[in-house]
Amino acid sequence: MNMSKSDKPHLNIIIMGHVDNGKSTTTGHLLYLAGVIDQRTIDAYKAEAEAMGKATFHFAWVLDNLKEERERGVTIDLRFLQFPTKKYNMTVIDAPGHRDFIKNMITGASQADAAVLFSSAKKGEFEAGIGPGGQTREHAFLAFTLGIRQLIVAINKMDDAQVNWGKERYDEMKNEISRMLKTIGYKIEKINFIPVSGWTGDNLLKKSEKMPWYTGPTLMEAFDLLELPAKPTNKPLRIPIQDVYSITGIGTVPVGRVETGILKPNTNLVFMPSNKTAEVKSIEMHHTSIPMAEPGDNIGMNVRGIAKTDVHRGDVAGPVDNPPTVAKEFIGQIIVIYHPTAIAAGYTPVLHYHTGQIAVKFTELIKKIDPRTGQVSEEHPGFLKTGDAAWVRMEPLHPIAIEAFNDFPELGRFAIRDMGTTVAAGAVKEVTKKGP
């Protein structure tokens, strides 16, 4: 059966790892081998690199050029980072720094289904990444905190002169990374550890002849071994609202992505926290009326009984008999990604959650968790600093519609931002005081 491009299921994957571990080179080379980037583009970058005196051309340039554009505020066509595998259409979310990574993680459109963790086999680089302050551990912990359970580990730079494609270094790293991932909470038996060279292209698409001792999948094959997350159609309906329009002759049209459950016309919905009910007359997707909407669908709903001013971005629609949870206060498990000094109780940053944002107060620092073991390292700490993981009691400025991560992972992730940067990311452990 020949599936056209659009028929393939879609999977979002995020690329992580310590700086210098070769994420960009490998991803750029993979996209080239997969035929997503044509030779012409490569040649143009190559000429540019040579003109700048960087004779050793890296595939990383492909991504770096994008990154620069990103930093300059030019919108990148993200399709560029899409490529087909036999089974899926993959979207790659490159995470150059933490900030982009988090932003991408918490915006509904790109909740990552899986992650590739890069680690360098080069002497000293692996050790720096996995040691204290290294990003290998931090990224893995962050991915787990944010609910990513599927992982591929790419052990890169196997071409390094000292490594020389050797099984010994691979085994050493695999054991050490496995130990670290286990303490975080990952199931090791499900993880493929793939020895690759982003530079030479070994084990990206084709089996490497230089490492006959490795019998597992190539990176491309490992993508197809990932599982598509089950569509949570059996859960109660939850639709976070992105926008609300008022259309002449039609009326109020809230727009959002169905996260869980199924929506059909002639259903009564309640919008929380505003607690307004309305009847859905019809559902539209891509300007076409549809008989049913399910998780993943971005839809507009023509509703009767409410005005445009009754519903706001950040509200969540759900069934009247099982309304979305409204929190006056909740406990969040967070990891502090970056703070210039320290965070104490009373801290008031901005909470970014599914489609909303609001000022939030840290009313109590409950306990600190050791990211390596997941054990409590300190009860009621006086402050939190960069790299700390903790449980915090939080109080939004007004009640908000948010769910516990264990009940609705789709609505239980958040980020904490302040001074234009992402300070922390986390998941809702429990809603401790409910609203209306």
Question: pLDDT, tens digit, for every residue of 225-235?
Answer: 999 888 899 99
Q: Which of 16-25, 147-156, 164-173 has the lowest mean pLDDT?
A: 16-25
Beta-carbon contacts of residue 92 (< 8 Å; ≥ 6 apart): 13, 14, 15, 27, 31, 81, 82, 83
In angstroms, the CA 19 to CA 94 distance is 12
Query: Is 326-434 the same fold as 239-319?
Result: yes
Across-strand partners of 289?
284
Tens digit of each residue's pLDDT (9 = 90 or more) over 379-399: 999 999 988 899 999 999 999
Q: Which fold has domain 326-434?
A: Elongation Factor Tu (Ef-tu); domain 3 (2.40.30)
**At residue 80, does pLDDT exceed 90?**
no
17 falls in which pLDDT band (50, 70, 90)? confident
Matching residue, tokens 């997350």: 229
Return the pLDDT at 366: 98
Q: Which helix (H) or strand (E) holds 136?
A: helix 135-145
CA angle (14 as vertex; 386, 57 as ends), nearest 5: 100
CB-neighbour burial class of residue 250 (10 A; exposed 0-12, middle 13-18, buried 19+): middle
Domain residues of the chain, as ranges?
Answer: 5-225, 239-319, 326-434
Q: Confirm if 5 and 89 have CB atoms less than 8 A apart.
A: yes
CB-neighbour burial class of residue 100 (10 A; exposed 0-12, middle 13-18, buried 19+): middle
**At residue 20, does pLDDT exceed 70?**
no
Q: Which of 258, 259, 413, 260 is nearest to 330 (CA)?
A: 413
In angstroms, the CA 380 to CA 391 distance is 9
Prediction pTM value: 0.73
Q: Confirm if 156 and 198 have CB atoms less than 8 A apart.
A: yes
Amino acid at 423: V
**Alpha helix segments (H runs only) across 185-313:** 219-225
- Concatenating the DSSP letter of every residue in 278-333 gives EEEEEEEETTEEES-B-TT-EEEEEEES--GGG--TT-EEEETTSPPPEEEEEEEE
Cα distances (Å, whole numbers) of residue 37 to 10, 28, 29, 62: 20, 8, 9, 9
In angstroms, the CA 156 to CA 176 distance is 15
Return the pLDDT at 191: 97
Question: Exposed e or buried b for every residue in 210-241, given b needs 16+ CB within 10 A?
Answer: ebeebeebbbbbbbeebeebeebeebbbbbbb
Return the pLDDT at 94: 66
**At residue 108, does pLDDT exceed 70?**
no
Q: Confirm if 294 and 235 have CB atoms less than 8 A apart.
A: no
**At residue 306, does pLDDT exceed 50?**
yes
Question: Exposed e or buried b for every residue in 328-367, given b needs 16+ CB within 10 A?
Answer: bbbbbbbbbbbbeeebebebebebbbbbbbeebbbebbbb
Return the pLDDT at 36: 72
Tens digit of each residue's pLDDT (9 = 90 or more) over 277-304: 999 999 998 889 999 999 988 899 999 9
In angstroms, the CA 391 to CA 91 distance is 32
Q: Which fold has domain 239-319?
A: Elongation Factor Tu (Ef-tu); domain 3 (2.40.30)
Q: What share of the chain is helix, strand, coil (3-state, %, to 5)?
A: 25, 35, 40
Amino acid at 41: T
- CATH architecture assigned to 5-225: 3-Layer(aba) Sandwich (3.40)
372 falls in which pLDDT band (50, 70, 90)? low
Amino acid at 208: S
Across-strand partners of 253?
245
Return the pLDDT at 177: 95
In angstroms, the CA 123 to CA 104 distance is 32
Q: Which of 71-85, 327-341, 385-399, 402-416 has the lowest mean pLDDT?
A: 71-85
Q: Which of 191, 110, 98, 111 is nearest to 151 (CA)?
A: 191
